[in-house]
């Protein structure tokens, strides 16, 4: 298992075909204000790839964009809504089709209100991940080893969680409703980017 660090783009041919796990690190939680700093990718083989973008980046990353926009590759996320919006806003591609482990967790782990990645990985995979670096400065000239390990850990276990959650969705007869949620994610991200991030357009109440 290794963590590979790249500047401004993903090298060609480093991922095997098939499902990939994806995550992002940004300067904050307001996508249009807080720039995209890192995209993490894993193909499930045990290695993670981190692509860092500098403060003056043009986000011209053809290899990374091709992988993210590939309609034949399923992308695994935890809280896909945020990552898809960040990727769409800065890289200009829609990173779908998607499977969101947070949504799947909410649909099948109804016995708990703990749907964060740390709790999900602990229960499903029996692994502990640290969230210490979650709120650190991702825009610095250098990323610390702790930051790199944290970023890598966010995609390290998504394939394993995915396999278990798919089984549980089927067991609870919730596969179809989950898929409908996943299919809506690009539209949900577009609504966030267009200014409806804090409004429920399906609500009867006026926004």
Domain assignment present for residue 104? The answer is yes
CA distance 173 to 167: 10
Q: In 39-174, where does DSSP find H-type helix?
A: 62-69, 80-91, 101-108, 117-125, 145-156, 158-171
- pLDDT computed for residue 146 by the predictor: 93
Task: Give the structural domain span for 130.
Answer: 3-196
Whether residue 34 contacts residue 28, with contact meaning beta carbons closer than 8 Å, is answered with yes
What is the C-alpha separation between 89 and 103, in angstroms, rounded?
A: 22
Residue 206 lies in a domain: no
Res 79: pLDDT: 98
- Per the structure, the count of domains in the chain is 1
CB 104 within 8 A of CB 77: no
Return d(Cα 118, Cα 104) in angstroms, integer: 15
Residue 202 lies in a domain: no
Q: How far is 58 from 70, CA to CA, in rounded Å?
A: 21
Q: Which two tokens stand for residue 65?
A: 């964009």
Query: What pLDDT score was predicted for residue 130?
Result: 78
pLDDT for position 179: 98
Structural domain contains residue 204: no
Whole-number pLDDT of residue 133: 63
Residue 15 lies in a domain: yes
Positions in the chain short of pLDDT 70: 131-134, 207
Tell me whether residue 180 is in a domain.
Answer: yes
Contact 63/12 with Cβ under 8 angstroms? yes
Q: With respect to residue 168, please indicate whether it lies within any of the assigned structural domains.
A: yes
DSSP 152: H
Q: Which helix (H) or strand (E) holds 186?
A: helix 175-191
pTM value?
0.95
Please report, for the domain that includes residue 67, its CATH number: 3.30.420.10
Does 207 reside within a domain?
no
């Amino acid at each position: 298992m290794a963590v590979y660090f790249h500047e401004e783009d993903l090298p060609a041919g480093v991922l095997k075909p098939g499902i990939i796990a994806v995550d992002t690190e940004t300067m904050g939680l307001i996508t249009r204000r807080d720039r995209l700093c890192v995209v993490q990718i894993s193909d499930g083989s045990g290695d993670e790839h981190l692509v860092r973008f500098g403060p003056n980046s043009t986000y011209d990353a053809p290899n990374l964009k091709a992988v993210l926009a590939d309609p034949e590759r399923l992308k695994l996320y935890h809280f896909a809504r945020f990552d898809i919006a960040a990727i769409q806003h800065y890289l200009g591609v829609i990173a779908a089709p998607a499977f969101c482990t947070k949504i799947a967790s909410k649909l099948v782990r109804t016995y708990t209100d703990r749907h964060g990645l740390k709790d999900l990985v602990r229960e499903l995979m029996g692994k502990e991940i640290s969230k210490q670096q979650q709120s650190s400065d991702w825009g610095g000239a250098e990323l610390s080893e702790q930051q790199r390990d944290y970023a890598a850990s966010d995609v390290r276990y998504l394939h394993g969680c995915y396999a278990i959650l798919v089984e549980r969705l089927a067991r609870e007869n919730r596969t179809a409703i989950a898929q409908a949620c996943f299919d809506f994610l690009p539209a949900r991200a577009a609504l966030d980017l267009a200014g409806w991030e804090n409004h429920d357009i399906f609500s009867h109440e006026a926004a």
